[in-house]
Structure 1
Amino acid sequence: MTNGNIPLAYCNKDNAKILLDYIPNLEYNNTYEKHSTQFQKILRELFYHALATILRPLRILSNTGIYLYVNGNLMWFYPYLAFIIADWLEAYMMCGVYGSSNSLHLCHFCLVKCNMMNDVHIAKEDIHIHNKNDTKNALRYDKDKEILVYNIRNAL
Protein backbone atom coordinates (compact mmCIF):
# COMPACT_ATOMS: atom_id res chain seq x y z
CA MET A 1 0.00 0.00 0.00
CA THR A 2 1.26 3.48 -0.76
CA ASN A 3 -0.05 6.83 0.36
CA GLY A 4 -1.49 9.06 -2.34
CA ASN A 5 0.38 12.12 -1.10
CA ILE A 6 3.84 10.55 -1.54
CA PRO A 7 5.61 12.14 -4.54
CA LEU A 8 5.82 9.86 -7.58
CA ALA A 9 9.62 9.74 -7.41
CA TYR A 10 9.40 8.04 -3.99
CA CYS A 11 6.31 5.82 -4.50
CA ASN A 12 8.31 2.87 -5.83
CA LYS A 13 10.89 2.94 -3.03
CA ASP A 14 10.72 0.25 -0.34
CA ASN A 15 10.14 2.72 2.49
CA ALA A 16 7.10 4.26 0.74
CA LYS A 17 5.06 1.05 0.97
CA ILE A 18 3.63 -1.00 3.78
CA LEU A 19 2.46 -4.60 3.79
CA LEU A 20 -1.00 -4.75 5.29
CA ASP A 21 -1.38 -8.49 5.49
CA TYR A 22 -1.22 -11.75 3.60
CA ILE A 23 -4.37 -13.32 2.20
CA PRO A 24 -4.48 -17.01 3.21
CA ASN A 25 -4.86 -19.76 0.65
CA LEU A 26 -6.15 -23.31 0.97
CA GLU A 27 -4.17 -26.36 -0.03
CA TYR A 28 -5.77 -29.23 -1.89
CA ASN A 29 -4.96 -32.93 -2.04
CA ASN A 30 -5.65 -33.57 -5.72
CA THR A 31 -6.93 -31.94 -8.90
CA TYR A 32 -10.45 -33.25 -8.37
CA GLU A 33 -10.65 -31.54 -4.98
CA LYS A 34 -9.19 -28.31 -6.38
CA HIS A 35 -11.88 -28.08 -9.07
CA SER A 36 -14.79 -29.18 -6.88
CA THR A 37 -17.64 -26.71 -6.43
CA GLN A 38 -17.42 -26.90 -2.64
CA PHE A 39 -13.66 -26.18 -2.58
CA GLN A 40 -14.04 -23.22 -4.95
CA LYS A 41 -16.88 -21.77 -2.85
CA ILE A 42 -14.87 -22.10 0.37
CA LEU A 43 -11.85 -20.51 -1.34
CA ARG A 44 -13.94 -17.49 -2.44
CA GLU A 45 -15.46 -17.08 1.02
CA LEU A 46 -12.01 -17.29 2.64
CA PHE A 47 -10.74 -14.57 0.29
CA TYR A 48 -13.66 -12.23 1.03
CA HIS A 49 -13.49 -12.73 4.80
CA ALA A 50 -9.71 -12.22 4.81
CA LEU A 51 -10.12 -9.02 2.80
CA ALA A 52 -12.83 -7.82 5.19
CA THR A 53 -10.55 -8.52 8.16
CA ILE A 54 -7.64 -6.66 6.57
CA LEU A 55 -9.78 -3.63 5.69
CA ARG A 56 -11.79 -3.52 8.95
CA PRO A 57 -9.60 -0.83 10.62
CA LEU A 58 -9.98 1.39 7.56
CA ARG A 59 -13.75 0.89 7.55
CA ILE A 60 -13.97 1.82 11.24
CA LEU A 61 -11.86 4.96 10.72
CA SER A 62 -13.94 5.96 7.70
CA ASN A 63 -16.94 6.21 10.07
CA THR A 64 -15.26 7.63 13.16
CA GLY A 65 -12.39 9.65 11.69
CA ILE A 66 -8.84 10.14 12.91
CA TYR A 67 -6.53 13.04 13.79
CA LEU A 68 -3.40 13.34 11.65
CA TYR A 69 -0.60 15.90 11.62
CA VAL A 70 -0.27 17.66 8.25
CA ASN A 71 2.50 20.26 7.91
CA GLY A 72 2.63 20.60 11.69
CA ASN A 73 -1.15 21.13 12.04
CA LEU A 74 -3.46 18.63 13.68
CA MET A 75 -6.34 17.89 11.28
CA TRP A 76 -9.37 15.58 11.40
CA PHE A 77 -9.65 13.04 8.52
CA TYR A 78 -12.14 10.43 7.36
CA PRO A 79 -10.03 7.96 5.37
CA TYR A 80 -11.58 5.79 2.69
CA LEU A 81 -10.41 3.11 0.31
CA ALA A 82 -10.11 4.76 -3.10
CA PHE A 83 -8.86 1.81 -5.15
CA ILE A 84 -7.10 -1.52 -5.01
CA ILE A 85 -4.32 -2.48 -7.41
CA ALA A 86 -4.27 -6.19 -8.10
CA ASP A 87 -3.19 -8.75 -10.66
CA TRP A 88 -5.86 -9.83 -13.14
CA LEU A 89 -6.74 -13.04 -11.26
CA GLU A 90 -7.11 -11.22 -7.94
CA ALA A 91 -9.22 -8.57 -9.62
CA TYR A 92 -11.50 -11.33 -10.94
CA MET A 93 -11.80 -12.72 -7.44
CA MET A 94 -12.56 -9.34 -5.84
CA CYS A 95 -15.24 -8.63 -8.42
CA GLY A 96 -16.74 -12.09 -8.02
CA VAL A 97 -16.58 -12.94 -11.73
CA TYR A 98 -15.39 -16.07 -13.49
CA GLY A 99 -11.78 -15.86 -14.53
CA SER A 100 -11.32 -19.04 -16.50
CA SER A 101 -10.51 -19.33 -20.18
CA ASN A 102 -12.95 -22.25 -20.14
CA SER A 103 -15.88 -19.95 -19.36
CA LEU A 104 -18.81 -19.54 -21.73
CA HIS A 105 -17.93 -15.86 -22.01
CA LEU A 106 -14.28 -14.81 -21.85
CA CYS A 107 -15.00 -11.17 -21.16
CA HIS A 108 -16.23 -10.16 -17.69
CA PHE A 109 -18.04 -7.02 -18.86
CA CYS A 110 -19.87 -8.35 -21.92
CA LEU A 111 -21.81 -11.51 -22.71
CA VAL A 112 -20.37 -12.34 -26.12
CA LYS A 113 -19.97 -16.10 -26.38
CA CYS A 114 -16.42 -17.37 -26.47
CA ASN A 115 -16.73 -18.86 -29.97
CA MET A 116 -17.87 -15.46 -31.32
CA MET A 117 -15.06 -13.36 -29.84
CA ASN A 118 -12.95 -13.54 -33.02
CA ASP A 119 -15.87 -12.90 -35.37
CA VAL A 120 -15.28 -9.52 -37.00
CA HIS A 121 -18.76 -9.66 -38.54
CA ILE A 122 -20.61 -10.07 -35.24
CA ALA A 123 -24.02 -8.44 -35.26
CA LYS A 124 -24.53 -5.49 -32.95
CA GLU A 125 -27.52 -7.19 -31.27
CA ASP A 126 -25.27 -10.13 -30.29
CA ILE A 127 -23.11 -7.85 -28.14
CA HIS A 128 -24.62 -7.48 -24.69
CA ILE A 129 -22.83 -5.36 -22.09
CA HIS A 130 -23.27 -6.15 -18.39
CA ASN A 131 -25.14 -3.58 -16.35
CA LYS A 132 -26.18 -3.48 -12.71
CA ASN A 133 -29.80 -4.43 -13.50
CA ASP A 134 -28.72 -7.57 -15.39
CA THR A 135 -26.54 -8.57 -12.47
CA LYS A 136 -29.24 -7.91 -9.85
CA ASN A 137 -31.85 -9.86 -11.81
CA ALA A 138 -29.51 -12.78 -12.46
CA LEU A 139 -28.65 -13.04 -8.77
CA ARG A 140 -32.27 -12.60 -7.73
CA TYR A 141 -33.51 -15.38 -10.07
CA ASP A 142 -30.57 -17.76 -9.51
CA LYS A 143 -29.10 -17.26 -13.00
CA ASP A 144 -25.67 -16.15 -11.83
CA LYS A 145 -23.87 -18.70 -14.02
CA GLU A 146 -25.41 -17.15 -17.13
CA ILE A 147 -23.66 -13.83 -16.51
CA LEU A 148 -20.48 -15.32 -15.04
CA VAL A 149 -20.72 -14.02 -11.50
CA TYR A 150 -20.52 -15.84 -8.20
CA ASN A 151 -23.42 -15.35 -5.85
CA ILE A 152 -21.45 -14.63 -2.69
CA ARG A 153 -22.34 -12.29 0.14
CA ASN A 154 -20.04 -9.29 0.22
CA ALA A 155 -17.95 -9.50 3.38
CA LEU A 156 -16.81 -5.90 3.07
Structure 2
Amino acid sequence: MAEIFIKDASYFKLQDSWYLSLIPIECGIGECTTDTLGKSSLHPIYVSLGNIPTWRRNKEDAKQLLGYLPILSAKNEKKKKSSEFKELARETFHNFIKFLLDPLFQGDGVDFNIDDKDIWFFLRISTIICDWPEACTFSLIYKSANSNYPCHFCLVQREDLIDIRKEVILRNHVNMKEYFDSNTSKLAGLEQVNNYFWSILNLNIYAATVPDRMHHLDLGLFKYQIEFTMELLKKKKSLNKVNERIADIPRHSQLKVFKKGIQLSRLTANEYRDMMKIMVFVVDDLQIEDLSEVYVKWNKMYLLSRSEKFKESDLENFQVKIIIWDIRKVDIHKYRAWNRVPISHPDIRMTLKSDIRMNPDDFLKIFFHPISPGFIRFGV
Protein backbone atom coordinates (compact mmCIF):
# COMPACT_ATOMS: atom_id res chain seq x y z
CA MET A 1 0.00 0.00 0.00
CA ALA A 2 2.85 2.39 0.83
CA GLU A 3 4.43 1.75 -2.57
CA ILE A 4 1.15 2.55 -4.30
CA PHE A 5 0.87 5.71 -2.25
CA ILE A 6 4.31 6.91 -3.34
CA LYS A 7 3.76 6.07 -7.02
CA ASP A 8 0.41 7.83 -7.14
CA ALA A 9 1.39 10.76 -4.95
CA SER A 10 0.43 13.23 -7.68
CA TYR A 11 -3.21 12.44 -6.99
CA PHE A 12 -3.03 13.61 -3.39
CA LYS A 13 -3.73 17.24 -2.60
CA LEU A 14 -2.10 18.61 0.52
CA GLN A 15 -4.53 20.44 2.72
CA ASP A 16 -2.31 23.19 4.09
CA SER A 17 1.20 24.62 4.15
CA TRP A 18 2.12 22.49 7.18
CA TYR A 19 2.12 19.37 5.00
CA LEU A 20 -0.67 17.77 6.98
CA SER A 21 -3.24 15.73 5.08
CA LEU A 22 -5.73 12.92 5.39
CA ILE A 23 -5.66 9.51 3.75
CA PRO A 24 -9.25 8.40 3.13
CA ILE A 25 -9.56 4.65 3.49
CA GLU A 26 -12.15 2.63 1.60
CA CYS A 27 -13.22 -0.67 3.14
CA GLY A 28 -14.79 -3.44 1.10
CA ILE A 29 -16.53 -6.61 2.16
CA GLY A 30 -18.25 -9.35 0.23
CA GLU A 31 -18.67 -13.07 -0.18
CA CYS A 32 -16.21 -15.15 -2.20
CA THR A 33 -16.34 -18.84 -3.13
CA THR A 34 -13.42 -20.94 -1.88
CA ASP A 35 -13.96 -24.24 -3.69
CA THR A 36 -14.65 -25.36 -7.24
CA LEU A 37 -18.08 -26.75 -6.34
CA GLY A 38 -19.27 -23.41 -4.97
CA LYS A 39 -20.32 -24.91 -1.63
CA SER A 40 -17.84 -23.12 0.63
CA SER A 41 -17.44 -19.37 0.97
CA LEU A 42 -15.70 -16.75 3.10
CA HIS A 43 -16.20 -13.03 3.64
CA PRO A 44 -12.93 -11.13 3.09
CA ILE A 45 -12.51 -7.54 4.23
CA TYR A 46 -9.99 -5.33 2.47
CA VAL A 47 -8.92 -1.69 2.41
CA SER A 48 -7.79 0.64 -0.34
CA LEU A 49 -6.86 4.30 -0.69
CA GLY A 50 -9.85 6.52 -1.31
CA ASN A 51 -8.27 9.43 -3.18
CA ILE A 52 -6.62 7.67 -6.10
CA PRO A 53 -8.40 7.18 -9.44
CA THR A 54 -10.88 4.33 -9.68
CA TRP A 55 -8.93 2.63 -12.48
CA ARG A 56 -5.88 2.49 -10.20
CA ARG A 57 -7.84 1.39 -7.17
CA ASN A 58 -9.36 -1.47 -9.17
CA LYS A 59 -5.95 -3.07 -9.71
CA GLU A 60 -5.07 -6.05 -7.57
CA ASP A 61 -2.05 -4.47 -5.86
CA ALA A 62 -4.09 -1.42 -4.78
CA LYS A 63 -6.03 -3.43 -2.21
CA GLN A 64 -4.83 -4.86 1.06
CA LEU A 65 -6.55 -7.90 2.52
CA LEU A 66 -7.05 -7.46 6.26
CA GLY A 67 -8.60 -10.82 7.00
CA TYR A 68 -11.72 -12.96 6.78
CA LEU A 69 -14.76 -12.41 8.94
CA PRO A 70 -15.27 -15.12 11.57
CA ILE A 71 -18.20 -17.48 11.04
CA LEU A 72 -19.83 -18.87 14.15
CA SER A 73 -21.15 -22.43 14.24
CA ALA A 74 -24.22 -23.57 16.16
CA LYS A 75 -24.95 -27.02 17.58
CA ASN A 76 -28.21 -27.28 15.70
CA GLU A 77 -30.65 -25.29 13.57
CA LYS A 78 -32.76 -24.30 16.56
CA LYS A 79 -29.73 -22.80 18.30
CA LYS A 80 -28.70 -21.02 15.10
CA LYS A 81 -32.09 -19.30 14.82
CA SER A 82 -32.19 -18.25 18.46
CA SER A 83 -32.00 -14.56 19.36
CA GLU A 84 -29.01 -15.22 21.64
CA PHE A 85 -26.97 -16.73 18.80
CA LYS A 86 -27.84 -13.90 16.41
CA GLU A 87 -26.86 -11.30 18.99
CA LEU A 88 -23.57 -13.12 19.61
CA ALA A 89 -22.87 -13.12 15.85
CA ARG A 90 -23.40 -9.34 15.68
CA GLU A 91 -21.19 -8.70 18.70
CA THR A 92 -18.49 -10.97 17.24
CA PHE A 93 -18.59 -9.10 13.94
CA HIS A 94 -18.09 -5.69 15.54
CA ASN A 95 -15.41 -6.96 17.92
CA PHE A 96 -13.55 -8.41 14.95
CA ILE A 97 -13.88 -5.17 12.98
CA LYS A 98 -12.49 -3.31 16.00
CA PHE A 99 -9.54 -5.73 16.11
CA LEU A 100 -8.83 -5.11 12.39
CA LEU A 101 -9.33 -1.35 12.20
CA ASP A 102 -8.09 -0.06 15.55
CA PRO A 103 -4.41 -0.23 14.49
CA LEU A 104 -5.18 2.20 11.65
CA PHE A 105 -6.06 4.93 14.15
CA GLN A 106 -3.43 4.32 16.81
CA GLY A 107 -0.50 6.68 17.23
CA ASP A 108 -0.08 10.11 15.72
CA GLY A 109 -0.51 9.27 12.06
CA VAL A 110 2.10 8.20 9.54
CA ASP A 111 4.93 10.05 7.79
CA PHE A 112 5.71 9.75 4.10
CA ASN A 113 8.56 11.36 2.18
CA ILE A 114 7.13 12.49 -1.15
CA ASP A 115 9.05 14.70 -3.59
CA ASP A 116 11.69 15.27 -0.88
CA LYS A 117 9.06 16.56 1.53
CA ASP A 118 8.00 14.92 4.78
CA ILE A 119 4.23 14.83 4.88
CA TRP A 120 2.22 13.93 7.94
CA PHE A 121 -0.89 11.89 7.22
CA PHE A 122 -3.84 10.77 9.28
CA LEU A 123 -5.96 7.78 8.28
CA ARG A 124 -9.73 8.12 8.14
CA ILE A 125 -12.41 5.73 6.89
CA SER A 126 -14.34 7.42 4.10
CA THR A 127 -16.45 4.67 2.53
CA ILE A 128 -17.51 1.10 3.18
CA ILE A 129 -18.55 -0.72 0.01
CA CYS A 130 -20.84 -3.68 0.52
CA ASP A 131 -24.19 -5.21 -0.33
CA TRP A 132 -27.38 -4.38 1.54
CA PRO A 133 -27.19 -7.33 4.02
CA GLU A 134 -23.62 -6.37 4.96
CA ALA A 135 -24.67 -2.71 5.23
CA CYS A 136 -27.28 -3.78 7.77
CA THR A 137 -24.59 -5.65 9.69
CA PHE A 138 -22.27 -2.64 9.77
CA SER A 139 -25.07 -0.29 10.81
CA LEU A 140 -26.79 -2.90 13.03
CA ILE A 141 -30.30 -2.36 11.69
CA TYR A 142 -32.87 -5.07 11.05
CA LYS A 143 -32.12 -7.00 7.86
CA SER A 144 -35.73 -7.71 7.02
CA ALA A 145 -37.19 -5.63 4.19
CA ASN A 146 -40.50 -5.91 6.04
CA SER A 147 -39.27 -4.07 9.13
CA ASN A 148 -40.79 -0.69 9.95
CA TYR A 149 -37.53 1.11 9.09
CA PRO A 150 -35.75 -0.98 6.42
CA CYS A 151 -33.44 1.78 5.14
CA HIS A 152 -29.95 1.73 6.67
CA PHE A 153 -29.28 5.47 6.26
CA CYS A 154 -32.62 7.11 7.08
CA LEU A 155 -35.54 6.84 9.50
CA VAL A 156 -38.40 6.53 7.03
CA GLN A 157 -41.13 4.02 7.68
CA ARG A 158 -41.62 1.28 5.13
CA GLU A 159 -45.04 2.48 3.98
CA ASP A 160 -43.64 6.00 3.43
CA LEU A 161 -40.68 5.01 1.23
CA ILE A 162 -42.66 5.81 -1.92
CA ASP A 163 -43.68 9.24 -0.63
CA ILE A 164 -40.86 11.66 -1.43
CA ARG A 165 -42.78 14.58 0.09
CA LYS A 166 -42.20 13.26 3.59
CA GLU A 167 -39.44 14.88 5.60
CA VAL A 168 -36.45 12.57 5.88
CA ILE A 169 -34.61 12.04 9.15
CA LEU A 170 -31.14 10.67 8.48
CA ARG A 171 -29.52 8.14 10.78
CA ASN A 172 -26.34 9.18 12.60
CA HIS A 173 -24.39 8.00 15.61
CA VAL A 174 -26.07 10.59 17.85
CA ASN A 175 -29.73 9.70 17.31
CA MET A 176 -29.00 5.97 17.02
CA LYS A 177 -27.04 5.97 20.28
CA GLU A 178 -29.95 7.71 22.00
CA TYR A 179 -32.21 4.81 21.05
CA PHE A 180 -29.55 2.35 22.21
CA ASP A 181 -28.91 4.06 25.56
CA SER A 182 -32.63 4.29 26.33
CA ASN A 183 -33.12 0.62 25.40
CA THR A 184 -35.66 1.59 22.70
CA SER A 185 -33.68 0.42 19.67
CA LYS A 186 -36.70 -1.44 18.28
CA LEU A 187 -38.43 1.88 17.64
CA ALA A 188 -35.76 2.67 15.03
CA GLY A 189 -35.36 -0.82 13.60
CA LEU A 190 -32.00 -1.01 15.39
CA GLU A 191 -30.37 -4.01 17.03
CA GLN A 192 -29.69 -3.59 20.76
CA VAL A 193 -25.94 -4.11 20.25
CA ASN A 194 -23.18 -1.55 20.73
CA ASN A 195 -21.85 -0.35 17.36
CA TYR A 196 -18.06 -0.12 17.14
CA PHE A 197 -18.23 2.68 14.57
CA TRP A 198 -19.91 5.02 17.06
CA SER A 199 -16.49 5.38 18.71
CA ILE A 200 -14.73 6.58 15.54
CA LEU A 201 -14.58 10.36 15.27
CA ASN A 202 -15.73 12.08 12.09
CA LEU A 203 -17.43 8.97 10.72
CA ASN A 204 -21.14 8.48 10.14
CA ILE A 205 -21.37 4.76 9.47
CA TYR A 206 -24.90 5.15 8.09
CA ALA A 207 -23.77 7.56 5.37
CA ALA A 208 -20.40 5.88 4.76
CA THR A 209 -21.94 2.50 3.92
CA VAL A 210 -22.75 2.53 0.21
CA PRO A 211 -23.65 -0.17 -2.33
CA ASP A 212 -21.17 -1.52 -4.82
CA ARG A 213 -21.88 0.01 -8.23
CA MET A 214 -21.58 -3.43 -9.83
CA HIS A 215 -24.42 -4.81 -7.72
CA HIS A 216 -26.56 -1.69 -7.98
CA LEU A 217 -26.25 -1.16 -11.74
CA ASP A 218 -24.86 -4.23 -13.50
CA LEU A 219 -26.55 -6.90 -11.37
CA GLY A 220 -29.49 -4.79 -10.24
CA LEU A 221 -31.02 -2.20 -12.53
CA PHE A 222 -29.86 -3.59 -15.86
CA LYS A 223 -30.99 -7.08 -14.85
CA TYR A 224 -34.39 -5.55 -14.10
CA GLN A 225 -34.39 -3.84 -17.50
CA ILE A 226 -33.62 -7.13 -19.27
CA GLU A 227 -36.45 -8.84 -17.37
CA PHE A 228 -38.71 -5.93 -18.32
CA THR A 229 -37.71 -6.37 -21.98
CA MET A 230 -38.24 -10.13 -21.98
CA GLU A 231 -41.70 -9.78 -20.49
CA LEU A 232 -42.58 -7.20 -23.12
CA LEU A 233 -41.17 -9.34 -25.95
CA LYS A 234 -43.17 -12.36 -24.81
CA LYS A 235 -46.38 -10.36 -25.04
CA LYS A 236 -45.36 -9.20 -28.53
CA LYS A 237 -44.25 -12.75 -29.48
CA SER A 238 -40.82 -11.42 -30.43
CA LEU A 239 -38.62 -13.18 -27.84
CA ASN A 240 -37.51 -15.96 -30.21
CA LYS A 241 -36.51 -13.40 -32.81
CA VAL A 242 -34.35 -11.57 -30.27
CA ASN A 243 -32.67 -14.81 -29.14
CA GLU A 244 -31.93 -15.65 -32.78
CA ARG A 245 -30.35 -12.24 -33.32
CA ILE A 246 -28.18 -12.68 -30.22
CA ALA A 247 -27.08 -16.16 -31.33
CA ASP A 248 -26.12 -14.84 -34.80
CA ILE A 249 -23.63 -12.28 -33.42
CA PRO A 250 -20.13 -13.34 -34.59
CA ARG A 251 -17.39 -14.08 -32.09
CA HIS A 252 -15.15 -11.28 -30.86
CA SER A 253 -12.21 -11.46 -28.47
CA GLN A 254 -13.67 -8.85 -26.12
CA LEU A 255 -17.33 -9.81 -26.31
CA LYS A 256 -19.25 -12.64 -24.66
CA VAL A 257 -21.16 -14.77 -27.17
CA PHE A 258 -24.69 -15.75 -26.10
CA LYS A 259 -25.34 -18.66 -28.46
CA LYS A 260 -28.36 -19.86 -26.49
CA GLY A 261 -29.97 -16.45 -26.20
CA ILE A 262 -30.80 -14.70 -22.94
CA GLN A 263 -30.44 -16.90 -19.85
CA LEU A 264 -30.62 -14.54 -16.89
CA SER A 265 -29.96 -17.11 -14.17
CA ARG A 266 -26.44 -17.75 -15.46
CA LEU A 267 -25.25 -14.23 -16.23
CA THR A 268 -22.39 -12.55 -14.36
CA ALA A 269 -21.79 -8.81 -14.00
CA ASN A 270 -19.27 -8.86 -16.87
CA GLU A 271 -21.78 -10.65 -19.08
CA TYR A 272 -24.43 -8.07 -18.27
CA ARG A 273 -21.98 -5.37 -19.37
CA ASP A 274 -21.39 -7.26 -22.62
CA MET A 275 -25.15 -7.45 -23.09
CA MET A 276 -25.36 -3.67 -22.71
CA LYS A 277 -23.16 -3.38 -25.81
CA ILE A 278 -25.42 -5.47 -28.02
CA MET A 279 -28.99 -5.03 -26.78
CA VAL A 280 -29.39 -1.57 -28.29
CA PHE A 281 -28.94 -3.19 -31.73
CA VAL A 282 -30.72 -6.47 -30.99
CA VAL A 283 -34.03 -4.80 -30.09
CA ASP A 284 -33.94 -2.40 -33.02
CA ASP A 285 -36.72 -2.60 -35.63
CA LEU A 286 -39.01 -4.91 -33.64
CA GLN A 287 -42.10 -2.75 -34.14
CA ILE A 288 -42.01 -1.87 -30.45
CA GLU A 289 -41.96 1.88 -30.24
CA ASP A 290 -39.04 3.43 -28.33
CA LEU A 291 -37.63 0.12 -27.04
CA SER A 292 -34.21 0.65 -28.61
CA GLU A 293 -34.28 4.23 -27.34
CA VAL A 294 -34.62 2.89 -23.78
CA TYR A 295 -31.29 1.10 -24.23
CA VAL A 296 -29.66 4.15 -25.79
CA LYS A 297 -30.70 6.24 -22.77
CA TRP A 298 -29.55 3.51 -20.39
CA ASN A 299 -26.09 3.32 -21.98
CA LYS A 300 -25.66 7.08 -21.76
CA MET A 301 -26.72 7.07 -18.11
CA TYR A 302 -24.43 4.12 -17.33
CA LEU A 303 -21.39 5.66 -19.01
CA LEU A 304 -21.91 8.89 -17.10
CA SER A 305 -22.14 6.96 -13.83
CA ARG A 306 -18.66 5.53 -14.46
CA SER A 307 -17.03 8.96 -14.52
CA GLU A 308 -14.11 9.43 -12.14
CA LYS A 309 -15.31 12.82 -10.87
CA PHE A 310 -18.62 14.66 -10.77
CA LYS A 311 -19.35 18.35 -11.06
CA GLU A 312 -22.69 19.87 -10.10
CA SER A 313 -23.65 20.12 -13.78
CA ASP A 314 -22.75 16.44 -14.29
CA LEU A 315 -25.06 15.39 -11.49
CA GLU A 316 -27.89 17.50 -12.87
CA ASN A 317 -27.31 15.91 -16.27
CA PHE A 318 -27.25 12.47 -14.64
CA GLN A 319 -30.56 13.21 -12.94
CA VAL A 320 -32.15 14.19 -16.26
CA LYS A 321 -30.82 11.03 -17.93
CA ILE A 322 -32.38 8.91 -15.16
CA ILE A 323 -35.74 10.57 -15.70
CA ILE A 324 -35.65 10.35 -19.50
CA TRP A 325 -34.62 6.67 -19.29
CA ASP A 326 -37.55 5.89 -17.02
CA ILE A 327 -40.06 7.94 -19.02
CA ARG A 328 -39.15 5.89 -22.09
CA LYS A 329 -40.19 2.79 -20.18
CA VAL A 330 -43.40 4.52 -19.11
CA ASP A 331 -44.20 5.22 -22.75
CA ILE A 332 -43.75 1.63 -23.97
CA HIS A 333 -44.96 -0.25 -20.89
CA LYS A 334 -48.74 -0.13 -21.35
CA TYR A 335 -49.78 -2.76 -18.84
CA ARG A 336 -49.97 -2.27 -15.07
CA ALA A 337 -46.69 -2.96 -13.25
CA TRP A 338 -44.33 -1.54 -10.66
CA ASN A 339 -41.47 0.53 -11.94
CA ARG A 340 -38.27 1.15 -10.00
CA VAL A 341 -36.54 4.50 -10.28
CA PRO A 342 -32.81 4.48 -9.34
CA ILE A 343 -31.91 7.69 -7.51
CA SER A 344 -29.05 7.61 -5.02
CA HIS A 345 -30.06 10.42 -2.70
CA PRO A 346 -31.20 10.37 0.93
CA ASP A 347 -34.15 12.67 0.20
CA ILE A 348 -35.52 10.30 -2.41
CA ARG A 349 -34.23 6.90 -1.24
CA MET A 350 -32.27 4.37 -3.23
CA THR A 351 -35.33 2.84 -4.90
CA LEU A 352 -38.65 4.53 -5.43
CA LYS A 353 -41.74 2.67 -6.53
CA SER A 354 -44.55 4.31 -8.42
CA ASP A 355 -47.53 3.07 -10.37
CA ILE A 356 -46.34 3.80 -13.90
CA ARG A 357 -49.76 4.58 -15.31
CA MET A 358 -49.03 8.28 -15.36
CA ASN A 359 -48.13 10.68 -18.10
CA PRO A 360 -44.52 11.94 -18.47
CA ASP A 361 -45.39 15.46 -17.30
CA ASP A 362 -46.67 14.15 -13.97
CA PHE A 363 -43.60 11.94 -13.71
CA LEU A 364 -41.30 14.94 -14.10
CA LYS A 365 -43.18 16.93 -11.46
CA ILE A 366 -42.99 14.10 -8.94
CA PHE A 367 -39.51 12.70 -9.46
CA PHE A 368 -37.31 15.58 -10.55
CA HIS A 369 -35.11 16.44 -7.61
CA PRO A 370 -31.51 17.75 -7.48
CA ILE A 371 -28.78 15.34 -6.42
CA SER A 372 -26.21 16.40 -3.87
CA PRO A 373 -22.64 16.00 -5.22
CA GLY A 374 -21.43 14.98 -1.79
CA PHE A 375 -23.70 11.96 -1.54
CA ILE A 376 -23.02 9.97 -4.68
CA ARG A 377 -20.24 7.45 -4.25
CA PHE A 378 -19.79 4.50 -6.54
CA GLY A 379 -18.03 1.32 -5.55
CA VAL A 380 -15.16 -0.47 -7.18
TM class by shorter chain equals: 0.7 to 0.9
> In the aligned structure 1, how far is the partner of 2:52 from the partner of 2:185?
41
Q: CA deviation at 1:149?
A: 0.5
Q: Which residue of 2 aligns with 1:153?
A: 194
Structure with higher strand content = 2
Is 1:110–2:151 an aligned residue pair? Answer: no
Match 2:184 to one of 136, 140, 143: 143
> In the aligned structure 2, how far is the partner of 1:82 from the partner of 1:118?
27
Q: Which residue of 2 aligns with 1:70?
A: 114
Paired letter, 1:110: L
Given that residues 100 and 106 in structure 1 are in contact (C-alpha distance below 8 angstroms), is that contact kept between their aligned partners in structure 2? yes
Seen in structure 2, the aligned counterparts of structure 1 residues 147 and 87 have a Cα distance that, compared at 3 Å, is same
1:53-92 map, 5 Å: 53-61=99-107, 64-92=108-136
Identical positions, percent: 29
Q: Which residue of 1 aligns with 2:140?
A: 96
Question: Which residues of structure 2 form unaligned runs of 5+?
Answer: 1-46, 198-380
Match 2:67 to one of 6, 14, 21: 21
Question: Could you state the TM-score of these two structures normalised by the residue count of structure 1?
Answer: 0.76
How big is each residue's C-alpha offset from its partner over 1:120-153, in whole Å with a ceiling of 9 and x where there is no partner? Answer: 7xx95xx774555754443343221121101222
> In the aligned structure 2, how far is the partner of 1:73 from the partner of 1:2?
23
Q: Which residue of 2 aligns with 1:48?
A: 94
Is 1:4–2:50 an aligned residue pair? Answer: yes
Higher relative contact order (CA 8 A, sep 6+): 1
Q: Which residue of 1 aligns with 2:80?
A: 34
RMSD value over aligned CA atoms? 2.9
> In the aligned structure 2, how far is the partner of 1:32 from the partner of 1:94?
25
Given that residues 6 and 16 in structure 1 are in contact (C-alpha distance below 8 angstroms), is that contact kept between their aligned partners in structure 2? no
Given that residues 142 and 191 in structure 2 are in contact (C-alpha distance below 8 angstroms), is that contact kept between their aligned partners in structure 1? yes
Given that residues 111 and 118 in structure 2 are in contact (C-alpha distance below 8 angstroms), is that contact kept between their aligned partners in structure 1? yes
Q: Return the index of the structure with the highest Cα Rg.
A: 2
Matched pairs, number: 149
Question: Could you state the TM-score of these two structures normalised by the residue count of structure 2?
Answer: 0.35
How big is each residue's C-alpha offset from its partner over 1:50-95, in whole Å with a ceiling of 9 and x where there is no partner? Answer: 000100111104xx12211223432222222222222211111111
